[in-house]
Amino acid sequence: MIGLAPDAKPRLARGVRLHEDKARGGHVLLGPERVLQANGTAVEVLKLCDGERSFDMIVDELANRFATERARIASDAEAMLRDLAAKRIVEL
Amino acid sequence: MSIAPPLGLLAELTHRCPLACPYCSNPLDLERRSGELDTATWIRVFEEAAALGVLQLHLSGGEPAARADLVELTRGAARAGLYTNLITSGIGLDGARLEALAGAGLDHVQLSVQHVRAEEADLIAGFAGAHARKRGVARELVELGLPLTINAVIHRANIAAVDELVREAVDLGARRIEVAHSQYYGWALKNRAALLPSAAQVAETRATVERLSAELLGAIVIDYVAPDYFARFPKPCMNGWGRRSMNVTPSGRVLPCHAAETIPGLTFWSVRERPLAAIWRESPAFNAFRGSEWMREPCRSCPRKEIDFGGCRCQAFAITGDPRNADPACAYAPAHGSMDAAVAAAQASAGAFAYRRYTRSGERVPAAAAES
Protein backbone atom coordinates (compact mmCIF):
# COMPACT_ATOMS: atom_id res chain seq x y z
CA MET A 1 0.00 0.00 0.00
CA ILE A 2 1.20 3.48 -0.81
CA GLY A 3 1.83 5.38 2.38
CA LEU A 4 1.04 9.05 2.88
CA ALA A 5 3.38 10.60 5.42
CA PRO A 6 2.66 14.10 6.82
CA ASP A 7 5.86 15.32 5.16
CA ALA A 8 5.01 13.76 1.77
CA LYS A 9 5.07 16.37 -0.95
CA PRO A 10 2.43 15.32 -3.44
CA ARG A 11 2.53 16.57 -6.99
CA LEU A 12 0.88 15.81 -10.28
CA ALA A 13 2.84 13.17 -12.21
CA ARG A 14 4.56 14.41 -15.31
CA GLY A 15 2.16 13.99 -18.18
CA VAL A 16 -0.81 15.02 -16.03
CA ARG A 17 -2.28 18.49 -16.16
CA LEU A 18 -5.00 20.28 -14.26
CA HIS A 19 -6.78 22.14 -17.03
CA GLU A 20 -9.51 24.75 -16.97
CA ASP A 21 -12.15 23.49 -19.38
CA LYS A 22 -13.46 26.71 -20.86
CA ALA A 23 -15.87 25.04 -23.29
CA ARG A 24 -17.74 23.13 -20.58
CA GLY A 25 -16.80 24.97 -17.39
CA GLY A 26 -14.90 23.63 -14.39
CA HIS A 27 -11.58 21.82 -14.24
CA VAL A 28 -10.39 18.49 -15.60
CA LEU A 29 -7.33 16.36 -14.96
CA LEU A 30 -5.76 15.42 -18.27
CA GLY A 31 -3.52 12.37 -18.47
CA PRO A 32 -2.76 9.62 -20.93
CA GLU A 33 -6.14 8.56 -22.37
CA ARG A 34 -7.77 10.06 -19.30
CA VAL A 35 -10.05 13.02 -18.77
CA LEU A 36 -11.16 13.15 -15.14
CA GLN A 37 -13.65 15.70 -13.90
CA ALA A 38 -12.23 17.44 -10.85
CA ASN A 39 -14.86 18.75 -8.43
CA GLY A 40 -14.40 21.96 -6.47
CA THR A 41 -12.71 20.44 -3.42
CA ALA A 42 -10.44 18.23 -5.50
CA VAL A 43 -9.34 21.22 -7.55
CA GLU A 44 -8.38 23.12 -4.40
CA VAL A 45 -6.33 20.16 -3.14
CA LEU A 46 -4.66 19.53 -6.49
CA LYS A 47 -3.74 23.19 -6.99
CA LEU A 48 -1.67 22.93 -3.82
CA CYS A 49 0.05 19.69 -4.88
CA ASP A 50 3.09 21.45 -6.29
CA GLY A 51 5.79 19.10 -5.00
CA GLU A 52 6.94 21.78 -2.55
CA ARG A 53 4.18 21.92 0.04
CA SER A 54 3.99 18.96 2.41
CA PHE A 55 0.73 17.12 2.93
CA ASP A 56 0.53 18.73 6.38
CA MET A 57 0.88 22.20 4.93
CA ILE A 58 -1.78 21.49 2.31
CA VAL A 59 -4.24 20.34 4.97
CA ASP A 60 -3.46 23.36 7.18
CA GLU A 61 -4.01 25.74 4.32
CA LEU A 62 -7.35 24.18 3.34
CA ALA A 63 -8.59 23.92 6.94
CA ASN A 64 -7.78 27.56 7.37
CA ARG A 65 -9.36 28.66 4.11
CA PHE A 66 -12.60 26.71 4.45
CA ALA A 67 -12.90 26.84 8.26
CA THR A 68 -13.49 23.10 8.30
CA GLU A 69 -12.38 20.49 10.81
CA ARG A 70 -8.77 19.61 10.04
CA ALA A 71 -9.16 15.84 10.57
CA ARG A 72 -11.94 15.66 8.04
CA ILE A 73 -10.01 17.53 5.38
CA ALA A 74 -6.97 15.36 6.04
CA SER A 75 -8.89 12.12 5.63
CA ASP A 76 -10.73 13.29 2.49
CA ALA A 77 -7.57 14.61 0.87
CA GLU A 78 -5.61 11.50 1.78
CA ALA A 79 -8.25 9.19 0.30
CA MET A 80 -8.31 11.19 -2.91
CA LEU A 81 -4.53 11.39 -3.26
CA ARG A 82 -4.07 7.68 -2.54
CA ASP A 83 -6.63 6.86 -5.20
CA LEU A 84 -4.93 9.15 -7.75
CA ALA A 85 -1.51 7.76 -6.83
CA ALA A 86 -2.68 4.20 -7.52
CA LYS A 87 -3.72 5.48 -10.96
CA ARG A 88 -0.27 7.05 -11.42
CA ILE A 89 -1.82 10.51 -11.69
CA VAL A 90 -0.32 11.91 -8.49
CA GLU A 91 3.10 11.18 -7.06
CA LEU A 92 3.42 11.13 -3.29
CA MET B 1 -30.43 19.54 -31.50
CA SER B 2 -27.63 20.92 -29.36
CA ILE B 3 -24.35 19.13 -30.06
CA ALA B 4 -21.82 18.85 -27.24
CA PRO B 5 -18.23 19.68 -28.24
CA PRO B 6 -15.71 16.88 -28.84
CA LEU B 7 -13.13 15.90 -26.20
CA GLY B 8 -10.53 14.33 -28.45
CA LEU B 9 -9.04 14.69 -31.89
CA LEU B 10 -6.94 12.06 -33.62
CA ALA B 11 -4.66 13.66 -36.20
CA GLU B 12 -3.42 11.15 -38.75
CA LEU B 13 -0.46 13.31 -39.74
CA THR B 14 0.61 10.87 -42.44
CA HIS B 15 -0.09 7.34 -43.58
CA ARG B 16 3.60 6.76 -44.28
CA CYS B 17 5.10 4.22 -41.87
CA PRO B 18 8.30 2.18 -41.93
CA LEU B 19 6.52 -0.75 -40.29
CA ALA B 20 4.05 -3.01 -42.05
CA CYS B 21 2.01 -4.45 -39.15
CA PRO B 22 -0.81 -6.64 -40.41
CA TYR B 23 -3.10 -5.49 -37.56
CA CYS B 24 -3.00 -1.85 -38.64
CA SER B 25 -6.41 -0.21 -38.64
CA ASN B 26 -5.49 2.29 -41.35
CA PRO B 27 -7.46 1.92 -44.57
CA LEU B 28 -6.20 -0.42 -47.30
CA ASP B 29 -6.10 2.56 -49.62
CA LEU B 30 -3.35 4.52 -47.82
CA GLU B 31 -3.02 8.24 -48.50
CA ARG B 32 0.16 9.49 -50.14
CA ARG B 33 2.64 12.16 -49.10
CA SER B 34 1.66 14.46 -51.96
CA GLY B 35 -1.83 14.88 -50.53
CA GLU B 36 -0.83 15.61 -46.92
CA LEU B 37 -1.80 18.84 -45.15
CA ASP B 38 1.04 21.33 -44.65
CA THR B 39 2.34 22.56 -41.30
CA ALA B 40 0.30 25.77 -41.17
CA THR B 41 -2.96 23.99 -41.94
CA TRP B 42 -2.40 21.40 -39.22
CA ILE B 43 -1.63 24.11 -36.67
CA ARG B 44 -4.79 25.99 -37.67
CA VAL B 45 -6.74 22.74 -37.15
CA PHE B 46 -5.21 22.36 -33.67
CA GLU B 47 -6.15 25.94 -32.74
CA GLU B 48 -9.70 25.45 -34.03
CA ALA B 49 -9.92 22.16 -32.12
CA ALA B 50 -8.92 23.80 -28.83
CA ALA B 51 -11.41 26.62 -29.39
CA LEU B 52 -14.13 24.08 -30.11
CA GLY B 53 -13.51 22.30 -26.77
CA VAL B 54 -11.12 19.50 -27.69
CA LEU B 55 -8.91 18.69 -24.70
CA GLN B 56 -6.67 15.93 -25.99
CA LEU B 57 -4.83 15.65 -29.28
CA HIS B 58 -3.45 12.35 -30.50
CA LEU B 59 -0.66 12.79 -33.01
CA SER B 60 -0.85 9.60 -34.99
CA GLY B 61 -0.50 8.11 -38.43
CA GLY B 62 0.95 6.08 -40.04
CA GLU B 63 4.10 6.97 -38.24
CA PRO B 64 3.90 10.64 -37.16
CA ALA B 65 7.71 10.81 -36.91
CA ALA B 66 7.77 10.43 -40.70
CA ARG B 67 6.69 14.10 -40.76
CA ALA B 68 9.77 16.34 -40.80
CA ASP B 69 7.73 19.06 -39.01
CA LEU B 70 6.64 16.91 -36.04
CA VAL B 71 8.35 19.15 -33.48
CA GLU B 72 6.79 22.28 -34.95
CA LEU B 73 3.36 20.63 -35.03
CA THR B 74 3.73 19.57 -31.40
CA ARG B 75 4.71 23.09 -30.39
CA GLY B 76 1.69 24.50 -32.20
CA ALA B 77 -0.63 22.04 -30.47
CA ALA B 78 0.84 22.70 -27.02
CA ARG B 79 0.55 26.46 -27.56
CA ALA B 80 -3.09 25.99 -28.46
CA GLY B 81 -3.50 24.45 -24.98
CA LEU B 82 -4.10 20.87 -26.11
CA TYR B 83 -2.88 17.84 -24.18
CA THR B 84 -0.57 16.26 -26.74
CA ASN B 85 -0.13 12.52 -27.02
CA LEU B 86 2.28 11.06 -29.58
CA ILE B 87 1.27 7.63 -30.88
CA THR B 88 4.40 6.17 -32.41
CA SER B 89 6.28 3.06 -33.46
CA GLY B 90 9.45 4.82 -32.26
CA ILE B 91 11.12 4.43 -35.65
CA GLY B 92 12.43 7.82 -36.73
CA LEU B 93 12.88 9.14 -33.19
CA ASP B 94 16.35 9.55 -31.71
CA GLY B 95 17.49 11.20 -28.49
CA ALA B 96 17.84 14.67 -30.01
CA ARG B 97 14.40 14.60 -31.61
CA LEU B 98 12.77 13.31 -28.43
CA GLU B 99 14.41 16.09 -26.45
CA ALA B 100 13.10 18.62 -28.96
CA LEU B 101 9.61 17.13 -28.67
CA ALA B 102 9.74 17.33 -24.87
CA GLY B 103 10.88 20.95 -25.17
CA ALA B 104 8.02 21.67 -27.57
CA GLY B 105 5.55 20.67 -24.87
CA LEU B 106 4.75 17.05 -25.67
CA ASP B 107 2.77 15.62 -22.76
CA HIS B 108 2.89 11.88 -23.31
CA VAL B 109 4.16 9.15 -25.63
CA GLN B 110 2.46 5.93 -26.55
CA LEU B 111 4.97 3.48 -28.00
CA SER B 112 3.86 0.35 -29.82
CA VAL B 113 5.52 -3.01 -29.22
CA GLN B 114 4.80 -6.23 -31.06
CA HIS B 115 6.36 -8.97 -28.92
CA VAL B 116 8.97 -9.50 -26.19
CA ARG B 117 11.27 -11.49 -28.47
CA ALA B 118 13.04 -9.68 -31.29
CA GLU B 119 12.62 -12.32 -33.95
CA GLU B 120 8.88 -12.63 -33.46
CA ALA B 121 8.39 -8.88 -32.99
CA ASP B 122 10.20 -8.02 -36.21
CA LEU B 123 8.25 -10.63 -38.12
CA ILE B 124 4.96 -9.08 -36.95
CA ALA B 125 6.17 -5.53 -37.73
CA GLY B 126 7.59 -6.58 -41.10
CA PHE B 127 10.73 -4.58 -40.30
CA ALA B 128 14.11 -6.00 -39.31
CA GLY B 129 15.54 -4.35 -36.21
CA ALA B 130 12.31 -2.67 -35.09
CA HIS B 131 12.28 -4.48 -31.74
CA ALA B 132 15.74 -3.29 -30.68
CA ARG B 133 15.14 0.30 -31.82
CA LYS B 134 11.90 0.52 -29.86
CA ARG B 135 13.68 -0.53 -26.65
CA GLY B 136 16.24 2.22 -27.29
CA VAL B 137 13.50 4.80 -27.76
CA ALA B 138 11.74 3.66 -24.57
CA ARG B 139 14.95 4.13 -22.58
CA GLU B 140 15.53 7.62 -24.05
CA LEU B 141 11.95 8.61 -23.25
CA VAL B 142 12.18 7.50 -19.64
CA GLU B 143 15.55 9.22 -19.26
CA LEU B 144 13.98 12.48 -20.48
CA GLY B 145 11.17 12.03 -17.96
CA LEU B 146 8.50 11.82 -20.64
CA PRO B 147 5.62 9.67 -19.45
CA LEU B 148 5.46 6.45 -21.43
CA THR B 149 2.61 4.14 -22.27
CA ILE B 150 3.36 0.88 -24.02
CA ASN B 151 0.72 -0.14 -26.52
CA ALA B 152 0.59 -3.84 -27.26
CA VAL B 153 -1.95 -4.87 -29.85
CA ILE B 154 -2.84 -8.46 -29.09
CA HIS B 155 -3.55 -11.17 -31.65
CA ARG B 156 -2.80 -14.82 -32.25
CA ALA B 157 0.92 -14.29 -32.93
CA ASN B 158 1.61 -12.68 -29.52
CA ILE B 159 -1.29 -13.59 -27.23
CA ALA B 160 0.83 -16.16 -25.38
CA ALA B 161 3.27 -13.37 -24.42
CA VAL B 162 0.87 -11.02 -22.57
CA ASP B 163 2.35 -11.69 -19.14
CA GLU B 164 5.87 -11.03 -20.45
CA LEU B 165 4.77 -7.92 -22.35
CA VAL B 166 3.36 -6.37 -19.17
CA ARG B 167 6.47 -7.22 -17.15
CA GLU B 168 8.72 -5.83 -19.85
CA ALA B 169 6.72 -2.58 -19.83
CA VAL B 170 7.38 -2.26 -16.08
CA ASP B 171 11.09 -2.90 -16.67
CA LEU B 172 11.16 -0.27 -19.42
CA GLY B 173 9.74 2.28 -16.99
CA ALA B 174 6.29 2.66 -18.55
CA ARG B 175 3.56 3.97 -16.28
CA ARG B 176 0.83 2.43 -18.29
CA ILE B 177 0.29 -0.38 -20.77
CA GLU B 178 -2.57 -0.93 -23.15
CA VAL B 179 -3.22 -4.60 -23.65
CA ALA B 180 -5.49 -4.04 -26.59
CA HIS B 181 -6.91 -6.88 -28.59
CA SER B 182 -6.78 -6.11 -32.28
CA GLN B 183 -9.90 -4.41 -33.61
CA TYR B 184 -10.81 -5.65 -37.04
CA TYR B 185 -10.74 -2.68 -39.41
CA GLY B 186 -8.58 -1.84 -42.42
CA TRP B 187 -5.55 -4.11 -42.64
CA ALA B 188 -6.58 -5.98 -39.51
CA LEU B 189 -9.88 -6.97 -41.11
CA LYS B 190 -8.01 -8.15 -44.19
CA ASN B 191 -5.75 -10.21 -41.89
CA ARG B 192 -8.51 -11.37 -39.60
CA ALA B 193 -7.98 -15.09 -40.22
CA ALA B 194 -4.31 -14.78 -39.26
CA LEU B 195 -4.97 -12.63 -36.18
CA LEU B 196 -8.10 -13.82 -34.37
CA PRO B 197 -7.29 -15.81 -31.21
CA SER B 198 -9.46 -18.59 -29.79
CA ALA B 199 -12.07 -18.07 -27.07
CA ALA B 200 -9.87 -20.01 -24.65
CA GLN B 201 -6.88 -17.76 -25.35
CA VAL B 202 -9.03 -14.65 -24.80
CA ALA B 203 -10.35 -16.01 -21.48
CA GLU B 204 -6.80 -16.75 -20.35
CA THR B 205 -5.62 -13.27 -21.34
CA ARG B 206 -8.41 -11.66 -19.35
CA ALA B 207 -7.42 -13.70 -16.30
CA THR B 208 -3.75 -12.79 -16.78
CA VAL B 209 -4.58 -9.09 -16.94
CA GLU B 210 -6.73 -9.30 -13.80
CA ARG B 211 -3.96 -11.07 -11.91
CA LEU B 212 -1.27 -8.62 -13.06
CA SER B 213 -3.44 -5.55 -12.36
CA ALA B 214 -3.64 -6.60 -8.70
CA GLU B 215 -0.02 -7.70 -8.47
CA LEU B 216 1.39 -4.57 -10.10
CA LEU B 217 -0.99 -1.99 -8.55
CA GLY B 218 0.86 1.29 -8.18
CA ALA B 219 3.70 0.11 -10.46
CA ILE B 220 1.83 0.18 -13.74
CA VAL B 221 -1.71 0.82 -14.91
CA ILE B 222 -3.04 -1.83 -17.27
CA ASP B 223 -5.80 -0.81 -19.66
CA TYR B 224 -7.41 -3.81 -21.26
CA VAL B 225 -9.29 -3.55 -24.53
CA ALA B 226 -11.52 -6.58 -24.99
CA PRO B 227 -11.98 -8.22 -28.39
CA ASP B 228 -15.56 -7.68 -29.44
CA TYR B 229 -15.71 -10.90 -31.45
CA PHE B 230 -16.06 -12.71 -28.11
CA ALA B 231 -18.41 -10.25 -26.48
CA ARG B 232 -22.06 -10.46 -25.53
CA PHE B 233 -22.60 -6.73 -26.00
CA PRO B 234 -20.82 -4.51 -28.53
CA LYS B 235 -18.26 -1.87 -27.60
CA PRO B 236 -19.65 1.67 -27.33
CA CYS B 237 -17.68 2.51 -30.43
CA MET B 238 -16.09 5.99 -30.24
CA ASN B 239 -18.42 6.50 -27.22
CA GLY B 240 -21.08 7.14 -29.84
CA TRP B 241 -20.81 8.47 -33.37
CA GLY B 242 -20.08 12.19 -33.38
CA ARG B 243 -20.32 12.40 -29.59
CA ARG B 244 -16.78 12.58 -28.20
CA SER B 245 -14.10 12.58 -30.85
CA MET B 246 -13.09 13.23 -34.39
CA ASN B 247 -10.40 12.03 -36.74
CA VAL B 248 -8.56 14.06 -39.38
CA THR B 249 -6.94 12.13 -42.24
CA PRO B 250 -3.52 13.10 -43.70
CA SER B 251 -5.23 15.04 -46.48
CA GLY B 252 -7.66 16.81 -44.12
CA ARG B 253 -10.93 14.93 -44.36
CA VAL B 254 -12.71 14.85 -41.01
CA LEU B 255 -14.16 11.50 -39.97
CA PRO B 256 -16.27 10.40 -37.00
CA CYS B 257 -13.87 7.44 -36.66
CA HIS B 258 -10.82 6.24 -38.52
CA ALA B 259 -12.70 3.55 -40.44
CA ALA B 260 -15.70 5.69 -41.41
CA GLU B 261 -14.61 5.99 -45.03
CA THR B 262 -15.33 2.29 -45.50
CA ILE B 263 -19.05 3.08 -45.26
CA PRO B 264 -20.36 3.96 -48.72
CA GLY B 265 -22.51 7.02 -49.29
CA LEU B 266 -21.20 9.24 -46.49
CA THR B 267 -20.05 12.77 -47.33
CA PHE B 268 -16.93 13.90 -45.46
CA TRP B 269 -15.96 17.54 -45.24
CA SER B 270 -12.37 18.74 -45.30
CA VAL B 271 -10.49 21.18 -43.08
CA ARG B 272 -9.14 22.65 -46.31
CA GLU B 273 -12.59 24.00 -47.06
CA ARG B 274 -14.41 24.48 -43.78
CA PRO B 275 -13.74 25.38 -40.15
CA LEU B 276 -13.59 22.42 -37.76
CA ALA B 277 -16.54 23.66 -35.66
CA ALA B 278 -18.83 23.72 -38.71
CA ILE B 279 -17.68 20.24 -39.71
CA TRP B 280 -18.34 18.87 -36.22
CA ARG B 281 -21.84 20.29 -36.05
CA GLU B 282 -23.06 20.19 -39.63
CA SER B 283 -21.15 17.73 -41.77
CA PRO B 284 -23.43 15.05 -43.24
CA ALA B 285 -21.09 12.26 -42.16
CA PHE B 286 -21.17 13.34 -38.49
CA ASN B 287 -24.92 13.71 -38.49
CA ALA B 288 -25.57 10.41 -40.29
CA PHE B 289 -25.49 8.28 -37.11
CA ARG B 290 -25.74 10.82 -34.29
CA GLY B 291 -28.31 10.07 -31.63
CA SER B 292 -30.63 7.08 -32.10
CA GLU B 293 -33.04 8.12 -34.87
CA TRP B 294 -31.15 6.11 -37.46
CA MET B 295 -31.47 2.87 -35.50
CA ARG B 296 -33.40 -0.19 -36.54
CA GLU B 297 -34.49 -3.08 -34.40
CA PRO B 298 -33.19 -4.65 -32.22
CA CYS B 299 -31.35 -1.40 -31.35
CA ARG B 300 -34.29 1.01 -31.56
CA SER B 301 -36.19 -0.46 -28.61
CA CYS B 302 -33.10 -1.71 -26.76
CA PRO B 303 -32.60 -0.48 -23.16
CA ARG B 304 -28.85 -0.39 -23.85
CA LYS B 305 -29.05 1.97 -26.81
CA GLU B 306 -27.68 4.87 -24.77
CA ILE B 307 -24.97 2.62 -23.29
CA ASP B 308 -23.37 1.11 -26.38
CA PHE B 309 -25.06 3.19 -29.11
CA GLY B 310 -25.70 0.10 -31.23
CA GLY B 311 -21.97 -0.67 -31.32
CA CYS B 312 -19.88 0.08 -34.37
CA ARG B 313 -21.32 1.32 -37.67
CA CYS B 314 -18.23 0.30 -39.65
CA GLN B 315 -18.33 -3.24 -38.29
CA ALA B 316 -22.07 -3.46 -38.96
CA PHE B 317 -21.39 -2.48 -42.56
CA ALA B 318 -18.31 -4.68 -42.98
CA ILE B 319 -20.09 -7.81 -41.79
CA THR B 320 -23.77 -7.29 -42.66
CA GLY B 321 -23.47 -4.91 -45.61
CA ASP B 322 -25.63 -2.21 -43.94
CA PRO B 323 -24.31 0.32 -41.39
CA ARG B 324 -27.79 0.76 -39.85
CA ASN B 325 -27.92 -2.82 -38.64
CA ALA B 326 -26.97 -3.76 -35.10
CA ASP B 327 -23.26 -4.41 -34.67
CA PRO B 328 -22.94 -8.20 -35.05
CA ALA B 329 -20.80 -8.21 -31.87
CA CYS B 330 -24.13 -7.88 -30.02
CA ALA B 331 -25.82 -11.12 -28.95
CA TYR B 332 -29.19 -9.61 -30.00
CA ALA B 333 -27.97 -8.93 -33.55
CA PRO B 334 -29.33 -11.32 -36.19
CA ALA B 335 -25.79 -11.58 -37.64
CA HIS B 336 -24.15 -12.45 -34.29
CA GLY B 337 -23.39 -16.00 -35.45
CA SER B 338 -21.03 -14.64 -38.10
CA MET B 339 -18.60 -13.58 -35.34
CA ASP B 340 -18.33 -17.14 -33.99
CA ALA B 341 -17.99 -18.39 -37.55
CA ALA B 342 -15.10 -15.99 -38.20
CA VAL B 343 -13.34 -17.15 -35.03
CA ALA B 344 -13.79 -20.81 -35.98
CA ALA B 345 -12.58 -20.21 -39.54
CA ALA B 346 -9.53 -18.31 -38.26
CA GLN B 347 -8.43 -21.17 -36.02
CA ALA B 348 -8.32 -23.40 -39.10
CA SER B 349 -6.26 -20.86 -41.07
CA ALA B 350 -2.50 -21.08 -41.51
CA GLY B 351 -2.03 -17.48 -40.42
CA ALA B 352 -0.03 -15.86 -43.24
CA PHE B 353 0.10 -12.05 -43.02
CA ALA B 354 -0.79 -9.55 -45.72
CA TYR B 355 1.56 -6.77 -44.66
CA ARG B 356 0.43 -3.15 -44.66
CA ARG B 357 1.94 -1.59 -47.78
CA TYR B 358 1.22 1.04 -50.38
CA THR B 359 -0.02 -0.38 -53.63
CA ARG B 360 0.28 1.21 -57.02
CA SER B 361 -2.57 3.54 -57.79
CA GLY B 362 -5.73 1.74 -58.80
CA GLU B 363 -4.33 -1.71 -58.05
CA ARG B 364 -5.97 -4.02 -55.61
CA VAL B 365 -3.87 -5.18 -52.70
CA PRO B 366 -2.52 -8.66 -53.42
CA ALA B 367 -2.80 -11.34 -50.75
CA ALA B 368 0.89 -11.36 -49.85
CA ALA B 369 2.21 -14.22 -47.77
CA ALA B 370 4.46 -13.85 -44.75
CA GLU B 371 8.17 -14.15 -45.42
CA SER B 372 8.55 -17.04 -43.00
Domain of residue A47, CATH code? 1.10.10.1150
Rounded to the nearest angstrom, the minimum Cα separation between A67 and chain B is 33
Contact B145 A31 (CB under 8 A): no
What is the C-alpha to C-alpha distance for residues B89 and B99, in angstroms, rounded to an integer? 17
Q: Does the CB of A21 have a partner CB in chain B at under 8 Å? A: yes
Report the number of distinct structural domains present in chain A. 1
B62: cis peptide before it, omega within 30°? yes
Residue A6 included in any domain: no
Number of Cβ atoms within 10 Å of the Cβ of A24: 12
User: Is A1 among the domain residues?
Assistant: no
User: Hey, is the C-beta of A28 within 8 angstroms of any chain B C-beta?
Assistant: yes
Burial call B21-53: b when 16+ CB within 10 Å, e when fewer = bbbbbbbbebbeeeebbeeeebbbbbbbbbbbb
Q: How far apart are CA A45 and CA B177, in angstroms?
A: 28
Residues 30-89 of A with CB under 8 A from B: 30-33, 35, 85-88
Q: Does residue A45 sit within a domain?
A: yes
Q: Is residue A75 part of a domain?
A: yes
CA of A15: which chain B residue's CA is closest?
Answer: B107
Pairwise pLDDT comparison (B203 vs A87), residue with the higher score:
B203
| Closest-CA distance of chain B to residue A21, Å | 8
Assigned domain for A3 exists: no
pLDDT of residue A32: 87
Q: Please, how many CA atoms are within 13 Å of residue A34, restricted to the half-sphere of its CB?
A: 24
CB atoms within 10 A of CB A43: 17
Task: Judge whether B146 and B74 are in contact, CB under 8 Å.
Answer: no
CB contact under 8 A, A23 and B5: yes
Which of B83, B110, B223, B224 is the best mutation test for A, with the most CBs of A within 10 A? B83
User: Which pLDDT score is estimated for B267?
Assistant: 96
Q: From the CA of A63, how many Å to the nearest CA of chain B?
A: 29
| Per-residue pLDDT, B34 | 95
CB pair distance less than 8 Å for B55 and A85: no
**Would you state the pLDDT for residue B155?**
97
Asked whether residue A7 is assigned to any structural domain, the reply reads no
CA distances from B60 to B26, B80, B103 (A): 11, 18, 19
Within-domain flag for A70 = yes
Q: Identify the residue with better confidence: A87 or B159.
A: B159
Does the pLDDT at position A2 exceed 50? no
Q: Does the CB of A5 have a partner CB in chain B at under 8 Å?
A: no
Angle at B7 between CA B1 and CA B12, to 5 degrees: 115
- Which of B176, B224, B244 to mutate: most A Cβ within 10 Å? B176
The DSSP secondary structure of B155-219, one letter per residue, reads -TTTGGGHHHHHHHHHHHT-SEEEEEE---SHHHHHTHHHH---HHHHHHHHHHHHHHHHHTTTT
Q: Is residue A60 in a domain? A: yes
Does A71 have pLDDT greater than 50? yes
Residues of A in contact with B220 (CB under 8 A): 88
- Give me the domain span that covers residue A79: 13-91
Which residue of B lies nearest to A89 if distances are taken between CA atoms? B175
Euclidean distance between CA atoms B122 and B133, whole angstroms: 11
Sorted by sequence, the CB contacts under 8 Å of residue B165 that are 6+ apart come out as B113, B115, B116, B150, B152, B158, B177, B179
Residues of chain A in contact with residue B108, where contact means CB-CB under 8 angstroms, are 15, 31-32
Amino acid identity for residue B75 in this structure: R
Give the DSSP per-residue string, B33-88. Answer: GGG---HHHHHHHHHHHHHHT--EEEEESS-GGGSTTHHHHHHHHHHTT-EEEEEE
> Confidence class of residue A26 from pLDDT cuts 50, 70 and 90?
very high
Query: Which residues of chain B lie closer than 8 angstroms to A21, CB-CB?
Result: 53, 55
Residue ranges for chain B with pLDDT beneath 50: 362-372
B195 within 8 A of B23, measured Cβ to Cβ: yes
Residues of A in contact with B149 (CB under 8 A): 32-33
